[in-house]
């Protein structure tokens, strides 16, 4: 099985606040090719240290991926250090320089002089185009090892790895078939979910099962390898086929689609529409719904009613009701959902009101209490939630629960 | 300045789901002693690889901290690998074994045979007691370097480092002070910013300057070390004092506060209020504003007007105007901001309308074109932006630009 090392470059990755996480996505991609990651090194923006690290890595490993340090500034040292480590020269590429110039022009700006630094290529390197940033990647085959120099920002790095490195690696290391499947569940704790399905998945070493939880969303990754895709798929079917019935309605996706994608698909198909009324989430729910391309087909809009008066003025929630029941109450959540549905003229409307903290809350409804409402063509329902954690976590959890309420109402 | 390397041991840290985070707390502790972390390596439960990694580390660095791999099982290889790397033997300690036995007894269990593995010490090592687990740490002074072997679980590792390693390090390396400062800028590209300030910061090795950019927000980290806090602060003042005037109005924060925190602080102080009208960002702007605790003091709410009709119905944007100018136009952005200000009854209102892609756009206004509007007590202004990147990036960039427009209008 071929082995890889990953080197992450950046002084900020050696602080107490930040560390390399790019290697996680890279590892997933490499593993997908049947390549094992055997060492990861994090070095600062230091030419000599990076050169020494890279020299050691290529001496012992067939595949070395370097991320970061390809920017245009003084402290971007990867090009220089790699040239030193590989004993090659750096050559200015007019072609790459022109591509950077064109990119700047496309958003109406002029390339600065220092960006020319990004047009230097290691002798013999192939350029990996970067349609999402200015730093091109470089691919160097030194015979005994393959070296990829990739940009640090994840949204540039990951697509570049997928588009330019995966095919090159696949050509060099014909993989066995590896197939993955992603199941997603919500409305259940990670521990409970694991207790429910571990009797199944622990009986199999192939596929490998990994469980990841984030803001109430649980992903169950299955990864099978076999000689052919069909055999790997059969292994996945065997295990997924046992897990799925155990989770019942908690499972919402068998193909990795997110809640908002699944909801959007259903609403579009039924030609129905959605609006939102958000208090403590302040737009995060709408932001997540509209993160799906084409969401304008079913999402008409919404109301951020953060102050009590805006709940009354924009949504028609009775001011007396707010005084009587408080803004964080079942009744107000209901009135918000009804108001949004009526005023945005949609088939469905979600509402969220709660105490996200750190201050606020009452004895009855402390910080972490959130009411989520859903108005449908037939009725309006409200759920009261209690969530642990900080402001960020409470708000994201509330969004997840609101989307799940709608999913269940749509029978998905 | 003394330098340290951290080696994290564990095959699970090389998967796509999990990576080393122990080093963050260790880095904070080390930095607190004036010790810089210059390299971090992550290796699996592999005797030879760990031995090679540790051998390289002690050859080049004065302080090496190894975490993990001290458990009792077959795949806990740190003791063996460290003995090999340091060229020392492992010696069974009856004393350590008895301590482990006592610990098991204290929670009513009998020590298992395999736990005896944890009682082997590297020749010449000091034992670091572990009152929170079975694996004792080890401290080895090899003359040219100090090596600490520490357990992996954070609740054992961090207290052991604080209680047993910090005093030993302090005795060896009388502490120096480390102070940091975070400046933030926006409305300027990373390359332009660097070209502007690098003539200053490249003249200093102390403080160290690091530049990080994300969605149009640029952070300039300065880190100084000196004998006292006051001296370190003076170094920071010296460099920051030269950088700040070069950036003029692009610099918005001298203490690391985010745009939304700074805006919120000003609005609260002036007893003024804010609302938003979002189309393509769908709530992300409101979500960011309300991410600040206490934002209800000035943020009254907003309108997610994703469909054209909601722009008319909720904000009073003329339907003819939308037909005439299209929904993504200066005129509609202006009418949205005016409508939000009027209907939410606020002093300021921000609006965003644009093409976030991947589909949509016109020849004149292709994907990536966003109009950001701001209504103030005095006037309404609109800026047209062109942004590269995918849907996510365009939306986040638009939010950043909207907040920056408000910051500038507030004279911050």
Instruction: Give chain A positions within 8 Å (CB) of B304.
Output: 275-276, 283, 286, 290, 301-304
Q: Are A340 and A302 in contact (CB under 8 A)?
A: yes
- Interface size A-B, in CB pairs within 8 Å, comes to 269
- The answer to whether residues B104 and B183 belong to one domain is no
- Answer with the one of A197, A227, A253 that is the final residue of a domain: A253
- Cβ separation A302–B283 shorter than 8 A: yes
H-run or E-run covering B251: strand B251-253
User: Token match 């997928």: residue?
Assistant: A162
CA–CA dist B127, B139 (Å, integer): 7
- The answer to whether residues A41 and A118 belong to one domain is yes
Name the maximum alpha-carbon separation found in chain A. Answer: 77
Which pLDDT does position A85 carry in this prediction? Answer: 97
Q: Report which of B303, B381, B398 is spatially closest to residue B343, judged by C-alpha positions.
A: B303
CA–CA dist B243, B218 (Å, integer): 14
Domain count, chain B: 3
Which pLDDT does position B213 carry in this prediction? Answer: 80
- Cβ separation B392–A291 shorter than 8 A: yes
Mutating which of A43, A71, A290, A356 best tests the B interface, going by the most B Cβ atoms within 10 A?
Answer: A290
Which pLDDT does position B155 carry in this prediction? Answer: 82
- Cβ separation B301–A305 shorter than 8 A: yes
CA–CA dist A382, A336 (Å, integer): 11
- The answer to whether residues A249 and A318 belong to one domain is no
- Cβ separation B283–A283 shorter than 8 A: yes
For the ranges A160-164, A393-397, B111-115, B401-405, the lowest mean pLDDT is seen at B111-115
CATH number at B222 reads 3.30.70.2860
Q: Report which of A224, A128, A163 is spatially closest to residue A29, judged by C-alpha positions.
A: A163
Which pLDDT does position A34 carry in this prediction? Answer: 80
- The answer to whether residues A307 and A341 belong to one domain is yes
Q: Does B53 touch chain A (CB under 8 A)?
A: yes
Report helix, strand or coil for B303. strand
Confidence of residue A175 (pLDDT cuts 50, 70, 90): low
Domain that holds residue A224: 177-253
Based on the number of CB atoms within 10 Å of its own CB, is A243 exposed (0-12), middle (13-18) or buried (19 or more)?
A: buried
Mutating which of A10, A12, A37, A73 best tests the B interface, going by the most B Cβ atoms within 10 A?
Answer: A73
- Cβ separation B388–A28 shorter than 8 A: no
Two structure tokens written together for B187: 């409305």
Find the CB nearest B21 among A19, A290, A300: A19
- The answer to whether residues B82 and B227 belong to one domain is no
Q: Does B386 touch chain A (CB under 8 A)?
A: yes
- The answer to whether residues A307 and A339 belong to one domain is yes
- Cβ separation B198–A155 shorter than 8 A: no
- The answer to whether residues B217 and B347 belong to one domain is no
Q: Does B344 touch chain A (CB under 8 A)?
A: yes
- Cβ separation A19–B14 shorter than 8 A: no
Which pLDDT does position B175 carry in this prediction? Answer: 67
The span from the first CA to the last CA of chain B, in angstroms, equals: 38
- The answer to whether residues B165 and B68 belong to one domain is yes
Q: What is the pLDDT of residues A337-377, one digit of tens each?
A: 999 999 999 999 999 999 999 988 999 999 999 999 999 99
- Cβ separation A37–B49 shorter than 8 A: no
- Answer with the one of A205, A225, A253 that is the final residue of a domain: A253
User: Token match 């569940």: residue?
Assistant: A185
Q: Is the pLDDT of residue A130 over 80?
A: yes
Q: How near does any CA of chain B get to the CA of A11, in Å?
A: 7
Cβ contacts of residue A100 below 8 Å, gap of 6+? Answer: A111, A115, A118, A119, A134, A136
- Cβ separation B210–A12 shorter than 8 A: yes
Report helix, strand or coil for A379. coil
What is the 8-class DSSP label of residue A346? Answer: -
For chain B, percent of residues with pLDDT exceeding 90: 75
- Cβ separation B283–A304 shorter than 8 A: yes
CATH number at A59 reads 3.40.980.10
Q: Report which of A171, A183, A242, A231 is spatially closest to residue A206, judged by C-alpha positions.
A: A231
Instruction: Give chain B positions within 8 Å (CB) of A25.
Output: 16
Q: What is the pLDDT of residues A264-281, one digit of tens each?
A: 999 999 999 999 999 999
- Answer with the one of A137, A155, A172 that is the final residue of a domain: A172
- The answer to whether residues B274 and B330 belong to one domain is yes
Q: Report which of B176, B180, B175, B177 is spatially closest to residue B223, judged by C-alpha positions.
A: B180
Mutating which of A221, A258, A287, A396 best tests the B interface, going by the most B Cβ atoms within 10 A?
Answer: A287
Q: Is the pLDDT of residue B223 over 90?
A: no
Identify which of A107-116, A283-292, B155-164, B215-224 has the greatest average pLDDT: A283-292
Which pLDDT does position B373 carry in this prediction? Answer: 98
CA–CA dist B61, B147 (Å, integer): 10
ipTM of the complex in this document: 0.76
- Report the DSSP beta bridge partners of residue A66: A7, A149
CA–CA dist B90, B93 (Å, integer): 9
Instruction: Give chain A positions within 8 Å (CB) of B21.
Output: 19
Q: Report which of A226, A224, A178 is spatially closest to residue A30, judged by C-alpha positions.
A: A178
Mark which residues 7-46 of A lie under 8 Å from B by CB: 10-17, 19-21, 23-25, 27-28, 31, 37-46
CA–CA dist B225, B117 (Å, integer): 42
- Cβ separation A11–B290 shorter than 8 A: no
Residue of A nearest to B56 (CA): A56
Q: Peptide bond preceding A207: is omega within 30 degrees of 0, i.e. cis?
A: yes
CA–CA dist B103, B101 (Å, integer): 5
Confidence of residue A313 (pLDDT cuts 50, 70, 90): very high
For the ranges A95-109, A391-405, B159-173, the lowest mean pLDDT is seen at A95-109
Cβ contacts of residue B411 below 8 Å, gap of 6+? Answer: none
Mark which residues 165-204 of A lie under 8 Å from B by CB: none
- If one compares A111 and A315, the residue with the highest pLDDT of the two is A315
Report helix, strand or coil for B356. coil
Q: Does B256 touch chain A (CB under 8 A)?
A: no
Q: How many CB atoms lie within 10 A of CB B62?
A: 15
- Cβ separation A280–B290 shorter than 8 A: yes
Instruction: Give chain A positions within 8 Å (CB) of B1.
Output: none
Q: How near does any CA of chain A get to the CA of B95, in Å?
A: 35
CA–CA dist A290, B391 (Å, integer): 10
* Backbone region of residue B153 per phi and psi (left: phi > 0; alpha: psi in -120 to 50; beta: other values): beta
Average of per-residue pLDDT across A332-341: 98
- The answer to whether residues B58 and B160 belong to one domain is yes
Q: How near does any CA of chain A get to the CA of B296, in Å?
A: 6
Q: Are A376 and A318 in contact (CB under 8 A)?
A: no
Which pLDDT does position A22 carry in this prediction? Answer: 94
- Cβ separation A11–B208 shorter than 8 A: yes
- Cβ separation B290–A296 shorter than 8 A: no
Q: Is the pLDDT of residue B323 over 90?
A: yes
- Cβ separation B191–A114 shorter than 8 A: yes
Q: What is the pLDDT of residues B10-66, one digit of tens each?
A: 988 998 878 999 999 899 889 878 899 999 999 998 999 999 999 999 999 999 999
Q: Does A227 touch chain B (CB under 8 A)?
A: no
Average of per-residue pLDDT across B267-287: 98
Q: How near does any CA of chain B get to the CA of A311, in Å?
A: 9
CATH number at B389 reads 3.90.950.20
CA–CA dist B176, A8 (Å, integer): 28
Find the CB nearest A293 among B191, B307, B358: B358
Confidence of residue B208 (pLDDT cuts 50, 70, 90): confident
Mutating which of A112, A208, A261, A283 best tests the B interface, going by the most B Cβ atoms within 10 A?
Answer: A283
Q: How near does any CA of chain A get to the CA of B135, in Å?
A: 24
Distance of CA B337 to the CA centre of its chain: 33
CA–CA dist B276, B281 (Å, integer): 11
Q: Are A32 and A180 in contact (CB under 8 A)?
A: yes
Which pLDDT does position B309 carry in this prediction? Answer: 95
The span from the first CA to the last CA of chain A, in angstroms, equals: 41
Find the CB nearest A73 among B198, B278, B300: B198
**What is the rounded average pLDDT for all residues in chain A?**
93
Q: Is the pLDDT of residue B176 over 80?
A: no
Mutating which of B59, B301, B355 best tests the A interface, going by the most A Cβ atoms within 10 A?
Answer: B301
- The answer to whether residues B124 and B208 belong to one domain is no
**What is the rounded average pLDDT for all residues in chain B?**
93
CA–CA dist B167, B156 (Å, integer): 17
What is the 8-class DSSP label of residue B125? Answer: P
Q: How near does any CA of chain A get to the CA of B377, in Å?
A: 19
Based on the number of CB atoms within 10 Å of its own CB, is B153 exposed (0-12), middle (13-18) or buried (19 or more)?
A: middle
- The answer to whether residues B249 and B396 belong to one domain is no
What is the 8-class DSSP label of residue B165? Answer: I
pTM over cut 0.80? no
DSSP assignment of B73-117: STT--HHHHHHHHHT--EEE-HHHHHHHHHHHHHTT-PPPGGGGG
- Cβ separation B387–A73 shorter than 8 A: no
């Amino acid at each position: 099985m071929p082995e890889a090392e990953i080197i992450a470059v950046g002084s900020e990755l050696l602080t107490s606040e930040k560390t390399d996480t790019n290697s996680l996505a890279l590892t997933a991609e490499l593993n997908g090719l049947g390549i094992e990651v055997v060492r990861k090194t994090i070095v600062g923006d230091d030419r000599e240290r990076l050169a020494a690290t890279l020299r050691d890595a290529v001496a012992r490993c067939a595949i070395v991926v370097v991320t970061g340090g390809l920017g245009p500034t003084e402290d971007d040292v990867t090009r220089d250090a790699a040239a030193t480590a590989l004993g090659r020269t750096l050559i200015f590429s007019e072609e790459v320089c022109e591509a950077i110039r064109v990119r700047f022009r496309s958003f109406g700006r002029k390339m600065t002089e220092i960006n020319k630094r990004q047009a230097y290529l290691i002798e013999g390197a192939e350029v990996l185009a970067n349609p999402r940033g200015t730093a091109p990647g470089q691919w160097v085959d030194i015979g005994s090892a393959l070296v990829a120099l990739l940009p640090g920002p994840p949204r540039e790095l990951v697509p570049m790895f997928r588009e330019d490195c995966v095919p090159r690696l696949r050509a060099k290391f014909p993989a066995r078939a590896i197939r993955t499947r992603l199941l997603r569940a919500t409305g259940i704790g990670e521990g409970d979910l694991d207790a429910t399905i571990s009797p199944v998945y622990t009986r199999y070493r192939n596929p490998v099962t990994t469980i990841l939880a984030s803001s109430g969303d649980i992903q169950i990754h299955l990864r099978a390898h076999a000689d052919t895709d069909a055999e790997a798929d059969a292994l996945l079917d065997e295990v997924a086929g046992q897990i799925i019935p155990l989770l019942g309605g908690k499972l919402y996706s068998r193909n990795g689609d997110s809640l908002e994608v699944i909801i959007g698909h259903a609403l579009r198909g039924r030609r129905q529409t959605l609006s939102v009324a958000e208090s403590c989430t302040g737009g995060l729910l709408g932001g997540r719904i509209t993160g799906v391309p084409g969401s304008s087909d079913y999402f008409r809009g919404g109301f951020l009613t953060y102050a009590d008066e805006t709940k009354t003025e924009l949504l028609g929630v009775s001011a007396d009701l707010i005084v009587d029941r408080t803004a964080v109450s079942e009744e107000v959540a209901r009135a918000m959902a009804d108001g949004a549905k009526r005023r945005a003229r949609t088939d469905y409307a979600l509402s969220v009101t709660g105490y996200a903290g750190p201050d606020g809350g009452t004895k009855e409804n402390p910080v972490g209490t959130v009411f989520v409402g859903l108005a449908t063509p037939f009725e309006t329902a409200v759920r009261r939630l209690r969530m642990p954690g900080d402001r960020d976590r409470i708000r994201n959890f509330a969004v997840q629960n609101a989307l799940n309420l709608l999913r269940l109402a749509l029978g998905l």
